[in-house]
Amino acid sequence: MAEVDAKSVALLAAESTSGEVGPQGPNCRKRCCLITICQCIAGSLLNIAFIVILIAMAPILLVQTFILTLPALLESLVCRCRREYMDGISAVQLNHIEGAAIHVVFILEERVDANAIFKHYTDVFLSDSSNPCFYRFKQRAVSRWWLWPYWQNIQEDSLDWQYHFQSCKLPMDKAKLQQAVGELVGVVLDFTKPPWQVHVFENFTDEFGRAASAVVLKVHHCMLDGFTGLRVFMQAADPKAPPQEPDRPRQKTRAEGPQCLYLIPLFLKSLQKLLLMLPDKASPFKASQHLPPEGPRLCAWKTLQTVTVDDVKTFGKSDRGGGATVNDVLLAALGGAFRRYIANLGAGQQAIPKEITACIWVSLSPLNHVYKSFEEVPLKWGNSTLGTVYVKLPLTLPSSAGLKNIPEVVRDMRERTGAPELALESVIAMQILRWLGVLPKLLIRPLWHILSNKISCSTSNVPGPPFHMKWCGSPVQSINFFVPPQGTVSVFATIVTYDGSISIGLSSDPAVMNADELEQISGMLFEAELNEMLGPKKSCA
């Protein structure tokens, strides 16, 4: 009997690959067509039900939102001329994610005196001759349980210099600096003061034995997003912008955007995905217990030595790359590094999921605005340029789709990041976040853990300055940045390009990874995956 079953299976397999129809072929195809039709009908019915529920619930939600925010609206009408209220996303960052501070790590090429860095920083951002746009550095964030948060000016002479400017003269190698940054990442800022700090580690020795220094900027996310932060802190750089180049015709690498005819179904698909998203289960990338806002995190970073931005661009334009963007390739390499890490773990106690959900932060503003003057493009504080999309990172290799010239992992990532609904999803997700930001903190706070901890990994890819520069008077060797993991979002991965180089940074909950594992992913596996993906770089073109 087993032999007959095996022969039947072999016959069906031969039919499906050869295109010939055997005795059971027509029945199988009819069943497949029937299943496909039923799936389409079920999907359409679900979409119709979702639309009906959405239409029914929308007026109720609007009325409830108006009633709950009425005290804040009335106060804003009275105090608008005296107070600067936060945008909804910044309000969420302050009210519900106290530990969400951006930590930018500048590795300088030489030993510097901390006081020289502090003086340069003060001259640019805090002195009487500073650009008036930098008034935010002298304001503190005020959070309230029912009314909207706002910015409050501090007295001119009340800036706590010892709090905002801190230095360390102890000798440090890379491992000790990573440990120090991890401890710093786990400290919540004091919101009775302006939410920023500058830390200088004077006696740093890099992994190649070179004498250097490190500067860590710590700025709370309610103050600015990554795009705004890059614009602001480039004002302390020399040069502040790349050399002027002639305008080049824009090359279209993928669909610019969906046609108007398809916006409605794409909108519904995106909204349905966001509202009905299921949380990831605990895994080697997601802790089962919530991480408190304050407490040590682990940090590790690596500037790649064998792969440059030009290598990735060349690969993307080649037949092997198939038009992949730099972002596609780097995200695919990150997923590959995670897969290699899982393979090294072997048979562990936790079940390994086939994929994990990653939140990818994006900028909704054109990248070239980073280097525009504030007169040409006015500076806008807060998180108005921030967007996010949710993408599944596979922990298993994708099956072949017949595109032999393109590495499967790159093709697979292009399909995931190139989905037409993602452009709408980034806008819808932030509108939902803004809505949560305008609702009273007292009501949203108990629900925040449920709403915000569905993903395993948060990622951000920042195209930094493509040129060599000085910052606060000292030449910069590399740039990295970190945002601490929160709740059960246990891993935060960042990729930064600077002066043609690529740096990867990882911060994690100590409950899911130890320092050696984090160093392994950032220091070895990411670069190894990227090298294997690109192949012989000189022959890619």
- pLDDT tens-digit series, residues 332-363: 889 889 988 988 886 555 677 888 999 888 88
CB-based contacts of 486, cutoff 8 Å, min separation 6:
97, 99, 100, 291, 293, 452
Tokens read off for 96:
């519900």
Q: Give me the amino acid identity at 458.
A: S
SS3 134: helix
- Rounded mean pLDDT for each run of 10 residues along the chain, 541 residues in total: 38 37 52 63 60 67 72 75 86 90 94 95 91 93 91 85 94 94 93 95 92 95 91 92 60 51 74 81 87 87 92 87 86 90 72 85 86 90 87 74 60 82 84 86 82 86 91 93 88 93 93 90 90 68 41
pLDDT confidence of residue 267: 77
Q: Rounded CA gap, 127 and 164, in Å?
A: 15
Q: Please check whether residue 395 is in contact with residue 354, taking contact to mean a CB–CB distance below 8 angstroms.
A: yes
Q: Rounded CA gap, 225 and 483, in Å?
A: 11
Q: Rounded CA gap, 148 and 75, in Å?
A: 9
422-438 and 88-96 are packed helices; what angle lies between their axes, rounded to 10 degrees?
60
pLDDT confidence of residue 12: 32
* DSSP strand pairing (457-463 vs 491-498): parallel
What are the tens digits of pLDDT across the range 58-95?
Answer: 677 677 676 777 777 777 777 767 788 899 899 999 99
CB-based contacts of 106, cutoff 8 Å, min separation 6:
214, 215, 216, 217, 471, 476, 478, 479
pLDDT confidence of residue 325: 87
How is the beta sheet containing 150-153 ordered, strand by strand? 84-85, 150-153, 139-142
pLDDT confidence of residue 316: 87
pLDDT confidence of residue 2: 39
The residue count for the chain: 541
Q: Rounded CA gap, 294 and 197, in Å?
A: 16
Q: Please check whether residue 242 is in contact with residue 466, taking contact to mean a CB–CB distance below 8 angstroms.
A: yes
